Structure 1
Amino acid sequence: MTSPTPPAEPVYADRTFRSPAGMVGGALLLLLICWIGGDALFRGSGRVPWLALAGALTAVPLIVAFTLRPVVSANEQRIRIRNPFRTITMPWTEVADLRAGYSSELFTEGGAKYQLWAVPVSLRQRKKAARQQSRRSLDDPYDRTSATADVRDTKARTATADQTMADLRELAERAKAGAKPSASSSEGGAESAVSVRWAYEVIAPAVVGAVLLAIVWAAG
């Protein structure tokens, strides 16, 4: 008699964190390159079209890498950090700390450090949030909430990067609290490993474009 199959654990959708300003800036830069590069490619003479092609082949992957590509995806089990040239995936049990100083950083239990490019730190936004908090403490020195206060304004007094890191720390703490040792993790299986994958789809065209640009420039 076969034993009943245990129910599968629920799969939770990832929460994603991106930089809206970076995405907008990247899209504008790509439009600018298409406009200028396309004009040089179709109307230029001599080596100008080749320079435009090589320059676009070098610049476009780098712009995509630094503006559109970065994203942090997290769920109840693991965090995935997609930086310009690498993708780092690890379970929450491998995360030691998450900090936001001048940049957002993740520290592993093994002592490694990874930057979160998708969560840029804005010192200006942080100072603005600090001024709002200071003004609120002066208006209400005894921390008495008015009946007309808008409690939804709490996150408005926190910088975006700091709020994002707080959300990630909450996910990490909740995952560690509910983590159960498994056979695969105790044997050093894939669940406990930190996976790092290089983005060759970004690196290769940028290198090819740079080499082509150098050759065309030297040949001229």
Structure 2
Amino acid sequence: MTTPEPPSPAATPQSQDRVYRSPAGIAGGVMLLALGAWLGIDALVNGEARVRWLALAGLLLAVPLVVAFTVRPAVYANDDRLRVRNPFRTITLPWAAVSSLRAGYSNEVFDQSGTKYQLWAIPVSLRARKKAARRQTQAAAADPQGRTSALPSGPVRASGDQAMDDLRQLAEERASAEGAQGGPVVRWAYEIVGPAVLGAILLVVLLAVG
């Protein structure tokens, strides 16, 4: 009598993405979009024919650019890969393709070929770094009675630097994982580029014809 084969194990679910975005950038973008919508709609409704066309061209150009640089940027990371959504491109990097992550005046990731991709969604804040350094110094200072304050469990880090630390740890731990192999994949955001180029062309034509 043959022994029945055991059922195949269920596929391991993919880990959930960690999402890194800039709340300040998103808030600024929403405010700019609201202002642009107010001015643009007013021009479309109440303006003369030429003003309406200029307003339409301006909206076609400005709205995608504002969305691209404020609302769109995001960084997604899970156990298998890093996905960087920048203003005009989306870069997918399996952890095996990541050479290093560097934080200077901007946060950047390098692939194995040395190509650099900026992480727009994790901006560098020198002010936040100085604030974190002050907090670290204050935590290590003695209180007025001469006793040493309780130190935090780890070094105080700016939010952007802490996010880069988290990504470096993932890259180191997951680079050899089976699901983290492969090369970088870059996709252009044509949904952003297309309307912006169309708006720019229309605006140039309208200004040229007077």
Query: TM-score if structure 2 supplies the norm length?
Result: 0.89
SS of residue paired to 1:139: coil
Is residue 106 of structure 2 the alignment partner of residue 107 of structure 1? no
2:52 alignment partner in structure 1: 49
> Aligned match of 1:136 in 139, 146, 149?
139
> Aligned match of 1:79 in 56, 66, 82?
82
Say whether the 8 Å CA contact 2:142–2:148 is kept in structure 1: no
2:169 alignment partner in structure 1: 170
Deviations 1:72-120 (A, max 9, x none): 0010110100000000001111111111110000011221110000000
> Aligned match of 1:10 in 9, 13, 35?
13
2:196 alignment partner in structure 1: 206
State how 1:14-25 maps to structure 2 within 5 Å. 14-25=17-28
Q: Separation in 2 of the partners of 1:82 and 1:108?
A: 16
Q: Separation in 2 of the partners of 1:75 and 1:8?
A: 17
Is residue 200 of structure 2 the alignment partner of residue 218 of structure 1? no
Say whether the 8 Å CA contact 2:29–2:71 is kept in structure 1: yes
Runs of 4+ aligned residues of structure 1 deviating over 6 Å after TM superposition are none
Deviations 1:105-142 (A, max 9, x none): 001122111000000001111111112222323338xx
Change (3 A) 1:144 1:174: farther
Amino acid at match of 2:40: G
Q: Separation in 1 of the partners of 2:61 and 2:175?
A: 42
Q: Separation in 2 of the partners of 1:168 and 1:28?
A: 30
The alpha carbon displacement at 1:63 in A equals 0.4
Q: Separation in 1 of the partners of 2:187 and 2:5?
A: 41
Deviations 1:124-163 (A, max 9, x none): 11111112222323338xx9663xx7x58x67x3111101
Q: Structure 1 residues 68-77 or 125-134, which shifts more?
A: 125-134
The alpha carbon displacement at 1:9 in A equals 1.8
Q: Separation in 1 of the partners of 2:78 and 2:69?
A: 24
State how 1:25-44 maps to structure 2 within 5 Å. 25-44=28-47
1:161 alignment partner in structure 2: 160
Amino acid at match of 1:116: L
Q: Separation in 2 of the partners of 1:113 and 1:47?
A: 44
Say whether the 8 Å CA contact 2:141–2:149 is kept in structure 1: no
SS of residue paired to 1:81: strand
Say whether the 8 Å CA contact 2:141–2:148 is kept in structure 1: no
Alignment root-mean-square deviation, CA: 2.2
SS of residue paired to 1:192: coil
- Number of aligned residue pairs: give it: 204
Q: Separation in 1 of the partners of 2:22 and 2:203?
A: 31
Q: Separation in 1 of the partners of 2:26 and 2:98?
A: 27
Query: TM-score if structure 1 supplies the norm length?
Result: 0.85
Q: Separation in 2 of the partners of 1:119 and 1:10?
A: 27
Where does the alignment leave 5 or more consecutive residues of structure 2 unmatched?
none
